[in-house]
């Protein structure tokens, strides 16, 4: 019997949904496995009193968002315009924006 | 028995290009017979067949099929009657390009919910009946005119209708193919089918298989015998 | 029931035969559609995972950071301020932090130099992050030299490399002893970079911040909540940036799909007429078209989403790296942990399937309700 296209396509879609479900299970499994890693990093955050992730070390504010125009990285670099978003979206602290 | 009473059909009604294709048709057609509608172009032959076959509704008047008024049925019922009672063979065959002859024959049966294998088998039988089994897997656009017509007839037969409606079936066929068509008609008639067709073709008018001829002129019946 | 299912199956069969007639065109459509879902899903998965990961890692960040401001700029905090802060009610613990940035010309990278409060390295030794170790090829026992503030050379021996696991928080860290730190930057004893405070009752952080602001009006106070919130918005911002870039592509596809689906050619109209003439109901034609739209859009969603999942969580989102990384040298090569927002995925599914279904079915519906007799004419 000729393989029916409709059955093949439904089977493929079914397999796709199984993989979709599989991705959710895989995600849960990977999350469990990543817990140890995140715990380790979190311990360092606590011990060293870190305030940021090491993602945008070259941004003016980022590695210490709060912080530090004194230590701005690459401040005088010709390319050092503020294109890193953390600089442009960090709001001033609330107690500063309130009228005295 | 198919009965038409006072059937009138207007196209573009109420617009400047309003056109009355049928102007009051009263007609009784017997079943299990071959009836041919003849007349000049624009005389309303084709429109009349679309009314009988439930492809369109008359503007006024009634079409009764075996005592049942089909001209006022809701679309759903009309479609159901159409696909169980009528098979259509169009002048330009109207096969779907890109699909095989077999797939084309199966089309009218898809919505009926038959198992696919049974459907396929029946379509193959129909093609075989018309001597087209060898071309089952050919794409529609690769078929010659005569082959395309036989596929179109097979498609008209797949739901085992009682009435087969053909519009100018021999217009695109040469002499030998027209002969073959008439043979097929005779075979179908022998199986108890009702055949209604329009034609200009003198070969059909003279054919032995034809039981009655209806002559039309300007949307009316000129004579019938 | 059985007939109903078989009918659906038959209509699907017909749809597929019909789609296969324009194999190249429909395949191209599916590829483009999947690619767009892939980009959108990658952006959503990546930024959501990063947001959640940041929130988890930074949950133990300092509750309060206090900085001294001079002329609107951050300045060193004198010991005397620490003493004043210790008197604020509600603050249980306060101490000065020492940290700063150090540009290493050899790696062309910026390090974060810090003095740990507990277990600092011996003088002359440094604990370094995994990123520095990688950039300089430095292992425990190796020596690293830097120019200090006055041009003198300071040499550190690597005592330890912080494990890769915590790279997301520690990759660029260069931990040194307090004396070494002061020598490196020329910061006199009694001055600190900033201060960190703990609060007895977490709910009173805001209150404590207000009191500090009153006591030391020249200070800038950063709350942990603000840091976390800023992280949320940083990644929202990045996600938004990507989505804005993708909007063009999405719109182009929308126009393309609409054009393809709704611009019914005369040929397609004729085919619908034929289907009706040979006994298909309007409903059959709509169902058939729904199968077409459903199969196309669901396939695109599944292909796009699954590829995005692989891309983000197995390959580390290499396509986004240039955007996210900027010119960071110390960017940790980390795989985001797959936190998946079910709501986001469901939204993506709906936005993939529904508009496409509508674009395929609605124009057909308009064509399918006409009388079928036009095929005879």
Q: Which carries the bigger pLDDT value, residue C309 or residue C355?
A: C309
Whose CA is closest to C104, among C129, C132, C126?
C132
Chain B residues interacting with chain A (CB cutoff of 8 angstroms): 116-117
The two counts, helices (H) then strands (E), for chain A are: 3, 0
**Residue C333: half-sphere exposure toward Cβ, Cα within 13 Å:** 8
Whose CA is closest to C70, among C221, C187, C219, C195?
C219
d(CA C237, CA C240): 5
d(CA C61, CA C82): 19
Nearest C-alpha in A relative to C162: A44
Paired tokens of A87: 């600089």
* Torsion angle, alpha carbons of C79, C80, C85, C88, to 10: 150
Whose CA is closest to A64, among C302, B204, C61?
C61
pLDDT tops 80 at residue C197 = yes
Paired tokens of B77: 């019922």
Of C45-49, C62-66, C85-89, C185-189, which has the strongest mean pLDDT? Answer: C185-189
Contacts of C328 in chain A (CB under 8 A): 55-58
d(CA B196, CA C376): 14
**Residue C337: half-sphere exposure toward Cβ, Cα within 13 Å:** 23
What Cα–Cα distance (Å) separates residue C94 from each residue in B94, B115, C84, C86?
88, 79, 10, 6
A80 touches chain C (CB under 8 A): no
Same domain, A98 and A55: yes
Dmax over CA atoms of chain C, in Å, equals: 99
**Residue of B55, B97, B113 with shortest CB distance to C7:** B113
Flag if B79 and C13 touch (Cβ within 8 Å): no
Query: Which of A12, A24, A46, A57 to mutate: most C Cβ within 10 Å?
Result: A57
Nearest C-alpha in B relative to C7: B113
Paired tokens of C376: 């005879």
C129 touches chain A (CB under 8 A): yes
Same domain, A65 and A36: no
Chain B residues interacting with chain C (CB cutoff of 8 angstroms): 46-47, 49-50, 55-57, 75-76, 79-80, 82-83, 88, 90-91, 94, 96-99, 103, 107-116, 119, 155-156, 159, 167
Within 99-118 of C, beta carbons closer than 8 Å to A belong to 99-101, 103, 109-110, 112, 114, 116-118
Query: What is the helix (H) or strand (E) element at residue B216, kind and residue range?
Result: strand B212-217
For the ranges B26-35, B150-159, C50-59, C116-125, which has the lowest average pLDDT?
Answer: C50-59
Nearest C-alpha in A relative to B116: A4
pLDDT tops 90 at residue A59 = no
Q: What is the pLDDT of residue C334?
A: 67
Query: Which of A51, A86, A94 to mutate: most C Cβ within 10 Å?
Result: A51
Query: Which of B102, B113, B115, B116 to mutate: most A Cβ within 10 Å?
Result: B116
Instruction: Identify the residue whose tokens are 């393809």.
Output: C260
d(CA C377, CA C366): 20
For the ranges C147-156, C164-173, C283-292, which has the lowest average pLDDT?
Answer: C164-173
For the ranges A68-72, B38-42, C7-11, C366-370, which has the lowest average pLDDT?
Answer: A68-72
**Residue of C12, C163, C305 with shortest CB distance to A9:** C12
Instruction: Identify the residue whose tokens are 């003279």.
Output: B206
Distance from CA of C376 to the nearest CA of A (A): 31
Flag if B114 and C6 touch (Cβ within 8 Å): yes
pLDDT tops 60 at residue B96 = yes
Q: What is the pLDDT of residue A88?
A: 43
d(CA A23, CA A20): 5
Distance from CA of A28 to the nearest CA of C (A): 7
Residue A86 banded pLDDT, cuts 50, 70, 90: very low
Contacts of A1 in chain B (CB under 8 A): 117
* Torsion angle, alpha carbons of B150, B154, B155, B160, to 10: 150
d(CA B222, CA B207): 21
Contacts of C10 in chain A (CB under 8 A): 6
What Cα–Cα distance (Å) separates residue A55 from each residue in A65, B210, C130, C234, C246?
12, 88, 14, 11, 23
Q: Which chains touch A (3 or more CB pairs under 8 A)?
A: B, C
Q: Do B156 and B178 meet the contact criterion of CB atoms below 8 Å apart? A: no
d(CA A63, CA C112): 8
Distance from CA of A39 to the nearest CA of B (A): 58
What Cα–Cα distance (Å) separates residue C58 from each residue in A43, A48, B128?
10, 12, 76
d(CA C292, CA A6): 11
**Residue of C22, C278, C377 with shortest CB distance to B88:** C278
For the ranges B81-85, B162-166, B191-195, C300-304, which has the lowest average pLDDT?
Answer: B81-85
What is the share, in percent, of chain C residues with pLDDT greater than 70? Answer: 94
pLDDT tops 50 at residue A75 = no
Buried-state track C249-267, b at ≥16 Cβ within 10 A, e below 16: eeeebeeebbeebeeeeee
What Cα–Cα distance (Å) separates residue B10 from each residue in A27, B3, B23, B24, B28?
66, 20, 9, 11, 22
d(CA C307, CA C30): 14
**Residue of C7, C278, C282 with shortest CB distance to B108:** C278
Distance from CA of B192 to the nearest CA of C (A): 21
Q: What is the pLDDT of residue A89?
A: 44
- List phi, psi (to 5°) of C98: -125, 115
Q: Which carries the bigger pLDDT value, residue C304 or residue C51?
A: C304
Nearest C-alpha in B relative to C373: B55
Domain extent at residue A81:
51-100
3-state secondary structure of B171: coil
Q: What is the pLDDT of residue A83?
A: 44
3-state secondary structure of B24: strand
d(CA C105, CA C296): 53
pLDDT tops 90 at residue C256 = no
Q: What is the pLDDT of residue C317?
A: 83
Q: What is the pLDDT of residue C104?
A: 82
How many domains is chain A built from?
2
3-state secondary structure of C161: strand
Classify strands C143-147 and C194-199 as parallel, antiparallel or unpaired.
unpaired
Q: What is the pLDDT of residue A66?
A: 47
d(CA C133, CA C107): 10
Q: What is the pLDDT of residue C184?
A: 93
Flag if B83 and C278 touch (Cβ within 8 Å): yes
- List phi, psi (to 5°) of B167: -105, 115
Whose CA is closest to A74, among C181, C322, C103?
C103
Same domain, A29 and A58: no
Same domain, A56 and A95: yes
Residue ranges with strand state E in B133-202: 163-167, 194-199
Judged on CB neighbours under 10 Å (0-12, 13-18, 19+), C71 is: exposed
- List phi, psi (to 5°) of C341: -90, 105
- Dihedral sign for Cα C244, C248, C253, C259, please: positive
Same domain, A70 and A87: yes
Flag if C14 and B55 touch (Cβ within 8 Å): no
B131's CB contacts (< 8 A; 6+ apart) are: B150
Same domain, A62 and A38: no
Q: Which chains touch B (3 or more CB pairs under 8 A)?
A: A, C
Within 31-50 of A, beta carbons closer than 8 Å to C belong to 31, 34, 36-38, 40-50
How many domains is chain B built from?
1
Looking at the DSSP assignment, which residues form a beta bridge with residue C96? C195
Q: What is the pLDDT of residue A76?
A: 40
End-to-end C-alpha distance for chain B, whole angstroms: 16
Q: How many CB atoms lie within 10 A of CB C210?
A: 16
Query: How many residue pairs from chains A and C have C-beta atoms closer than 8 A?
Result: 224
Q: Do C237 and A85 meet the contact criterion of CB atoms below 8 Å apart? A: yes
ipTM of the complex: 0.89
Of C44-48, C131-135, C297-301, C326-330, which has the strongest mean pLDDT? Answer: C297-301
Nearest C-alpha in B relative to C372: B55
For residue B105, what is the domain's CATH number?
3.40.50.300
Flag if B116 and C10 touch (Cβ within 8 Å): yes
Query: Which of B7, B77, B111, B169 to mutate: most C Cβ within 10 Å?
Result: B111
Within 10-29 of A, beta carbons closer than 8 Å to C belong to 10, 12-13, 16-17, 19-20, 23-24, 26-27
Domain extent at residue B77:
2-224
Same domain, A38 and A56: no
pLDDT tops 50 at residue A77 = no
C-alpha angle with apex C273: C271 to C277, nearest 5 degrees?
115
A4 touches chain B (CB under 8 A): yes
Contacts of C112 in chain A (CB under 8 A): 54, 57, 63-64
What is the share, in percent, of chain A residues with pLDDT greater than 90? Answer: 26
């Amino acid at each position: 019997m000729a393989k029916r296209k409709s059955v093949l396509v439904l089977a493929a879609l079914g397999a796709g949904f199984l993989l979709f479900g599989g991705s959710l299970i895989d995600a849960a499994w990977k999350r469990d496995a990543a817990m140890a890693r995140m715990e380790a990093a979190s311990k360092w955050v606590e011990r060293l009193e870190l305030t940021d992730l090491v993602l945008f070390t070259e941004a003016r504010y980022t590695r210490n968002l709060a912080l530090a125009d004194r230590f701005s990285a690459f401040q005088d670099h010709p390319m050092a315009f503020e294109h890193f978003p953390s600089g442009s979206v960090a709001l001033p602290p609330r107690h500063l924006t309130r009228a005295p | 028995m198919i009965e038409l009473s006072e059937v009138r059909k207007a196209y573009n009604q109420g617009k400047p290009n309003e056109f009355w294709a049928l102007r009051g048709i009263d007609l009784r057609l017997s079943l299990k017979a071959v009836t041919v509608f003849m007349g000049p172009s624009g005389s309303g032959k084709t429109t009349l067949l679309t009314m009988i076959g439930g492809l369109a509704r008359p503007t006024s008047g009634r079409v009764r099929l075996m005592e049942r008024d089909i001209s006022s049925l809701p679309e759903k019922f009309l479609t159901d009657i159409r696909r169980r009672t009528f098979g259509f063979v169009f002048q330009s065959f109207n096969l779907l390009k890109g699909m095989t002859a077999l797939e084309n024959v199966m089309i009218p049966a898809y919505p009926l919910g038959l198992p696919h294998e049974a459907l396929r088998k029946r379509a193959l039988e129909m093609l075989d009946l018309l001597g087209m089994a060898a071309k089952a897997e050919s794409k529609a656009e690769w078929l010659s005119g005569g082959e395309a017509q036989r596929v179109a007839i097979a498609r008209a037969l797949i739901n085992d209708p009682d009435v087969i409606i053909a519009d100018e079936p021999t217009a695109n066929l040469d002499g030998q193919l027209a002969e073959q068509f008439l043979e097929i008609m005779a075979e179908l008639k022998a199986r108890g089918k009702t055949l209604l067709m329009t034609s200009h073709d003198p070969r059909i008018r003279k054919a032995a298989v034809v039981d009655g001829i209806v002559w039309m002129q300007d949307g009316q019946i000129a004579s019938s015998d | 029931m059985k007939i109903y299912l078989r009918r659906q199956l038959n209509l699907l069969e017909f749809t597929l035969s019909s789609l296969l007639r324009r194999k190249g065109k429909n395949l191209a459509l599916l590829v483009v559609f999947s690619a767009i879902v892939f980009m959108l899903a990658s952006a959503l998965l990546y930024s959501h995972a990063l947001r959640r990961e940041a929130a988890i890692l930074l949950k133990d960040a300092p509750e309060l950071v206090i900085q001294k401001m001079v002329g609107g700029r951050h300045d060193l905090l004198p010991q005397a301020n620490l003493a004043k802060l210790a008197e604020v009610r509600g603050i249980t613990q306060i101490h000065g932090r020492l940290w700063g940035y150090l540009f290493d010309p050899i790696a062309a990278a910026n390090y974060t130099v810090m003095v740990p409060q507990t277990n600092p390295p011996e003088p002359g030794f440094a604990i370094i992050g995994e990123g520095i170790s990688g950039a300089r090829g430095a292992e425990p026992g190796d020596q690293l030299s830097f120019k200090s503030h006055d041009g003198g050379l300071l040499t550190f021996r690597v005592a330890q490399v912080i494990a890769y696991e915590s790279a997301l928080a520690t990759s660029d860290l260069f931990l040194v002893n307090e004396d070494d730190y002061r020598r490196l930057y020329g910061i006199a004893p009694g001055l600190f970079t900033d201060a960190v405070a703990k609060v007895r009752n977490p709910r009173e952080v805001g209150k404590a911040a207000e009191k500090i602001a009153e006591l030391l009006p020249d200070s800038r106070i950063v709350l942990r909540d603000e840091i976390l919130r800023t992280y949320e918005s940083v990644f929202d911002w990045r996600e938004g940036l990507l989505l804005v870039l993708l909007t063009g592509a999405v719109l182009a596809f929308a126009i393309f799909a609409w054009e393809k689906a709704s611009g019914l050619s005369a040929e397609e109209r004729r085919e619908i007429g034929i289907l009706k003439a040979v006994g298909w109901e309007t409903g059959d034609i709509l169902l058939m078209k729904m199968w077409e739209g459903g199969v196309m859009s669901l396939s695109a969603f599944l292909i796009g989403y699954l590829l995005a999942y692989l891309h983000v969580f197995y390959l580390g989102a290499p396509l986004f790296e240039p955007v996210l990384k900027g010119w960071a040298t110390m960017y940790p090569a980390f795989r985001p942990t797959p936190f998946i927002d079910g709501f986001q995925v469901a939204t993506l599914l709906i936005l993939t399937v529904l508009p496409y279904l509508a674009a395929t079915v609605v124009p057909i519906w308009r064509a399918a309700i006409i009388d079928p007799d036009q095929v005879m004419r």
